[in-house]
Amino acid sequence: MSNAVGQNEPTVKKMPHSRKIYIGISIYFIFLVFTMFRHNLWFSPDQFIIFALFVAVFVGRGKKFLSSWAPFILLFLGYEALRGINPEHTKIAVNITNIIDLEKALFRSIPTIWLQKIIFNPHNLKSYDFYFSIIYMSHFVAFLSFAFALWWKKNILFQQFTFTILLLSYLAFITFIFFPVMPPWMASEQGYLPHIYRIMYLTTPIYTQPGLNVPTIYSVFSSNNYAAIPSLHSAYPFVILLFSILTKRKILILTSLIYTLSVWFAVVYLGEHYVIDVIIGVIYALVSFKVIHNFAFKKN
């Protein structure tokens, strides 16, 4: 007896509509990140929210996006504007030699100088030089993209994550005001340390090209070269890792762990931070996470 028509034909499973949207959004952000890096532009929060709002409106979640994100972005930009207050305004003495002495006491040398001596050659740049430079430049885009993913999937984790980032940032701002620290690259320029290369200044001109100019409110913000302790470049990735653990997604946890460790190595290797800055940044991140997760959002 012959089989009924189509009885043995394989069933083609269609990809869920939500997964298609998620993949499309991922491709969109990857393209944006590539474009920003290609033109040596930092993906600032105000630029991010415009690009992310476009996605939210496209999928019919524009109002929800604005109600969820507007308070966080406004408060974060407020922190970024305040961060420009530096020792020139406060007249507080900058910590230089005491940090250097502590670094030497803990590690018997300055880890940045040691690392650059054994694995860096300014005349023969390696692939890892470019990798760590890009990792360092991902400061804003990494935690904002992670926040967007949390907002898309788990709104309660998004709220906890953004509150943690805000608490961490404002705690860091208070520290920047009362305990300004000169970073290793500047200490080297001013003769307190042997020569330290700012490796990013050597790598970025090779893989970037000028020409693109995306408006940003950061053009009117002042920078603070003495905002070294705690290292927020090191703290934000650790917050990402902590919240990745809460999602219980193994791939996300592994990716976040690799990213976090890469950032910690990068900020020291590139001459942007001391190891002490990294350690204190991690402590600040852990404290902020505990306060928000265990107390502010404590389950009844």
Whether the Cβ atoms of residue 269 and residue 115 lie closer than 8 Å to each other = yes
Angle at 44 between CA 67 and CA 266, to 5 degrees: 125
Instruction: List residues bridging with 95 in a β-sheet.
Output: 181
44, 169, 204, 280 from 230: Cα distances, Å = 20, 10, 25, 5
In terms of C-beta density within 10 A (0-12 exposed, 13-18 middle, 19 or more buried), how is residue 3 classed?
exposed
**Cα dihedral 158/161/163/168 (nearest 10):** -160
Q: Give, as one character, the DSSP assignment of residue 179.
A: S
Quickly list DSSP for 223-248: P-TT--SS-HHHHHHHHHHHHHHHHT
Phi first, then psi, for residue 6 (nearest 5°) are 85, 0
Q: Give, as one character, the DSSP assignment of residue 8.
A: T
Distance (Å, whole) CA 202 – CA 220: 26
Residues 6+ apart with CB under 8 A from 25: 55, 152
pLDDT of residue 12: 46
Measuring CA to CA, which residue among 300, 298, 267, 297 is closest to residue 282? 267
Give the pair of three-digit tokens for residue 99. 């940090």
Instruction: List residues bridging with 271 in a β-sheet.
Output: none
Instruction: Map out the domains of the chain as residue ranges.
Output: 17-296
29, 123, 151 from 17: Cα distances, Å = 19, 50, 18
Phi first, then psi, for residue 75 (nearest 5°) are -70, -35
Total Cβ atoms within 10 A of residue 148: 21
Q: Where are the alpha helices (DSSP H) in the chain?
A: 17-38, 45-58, 62-82, 87-90, 97-107, 111-119, 127-137, 139-153, 155-178, 184-189, 200-207, 232-247, 250-269, 275-290
pLDDT of residue 179: 96
pLDDT of residue 73: 92
Q: Which residues of the chain have pLDDT under 70?
A: 1-19, 21-22, 25, 37, 39-42, 211-214, 298-300
CA atoms within 13 A on the CB side of 183: 21
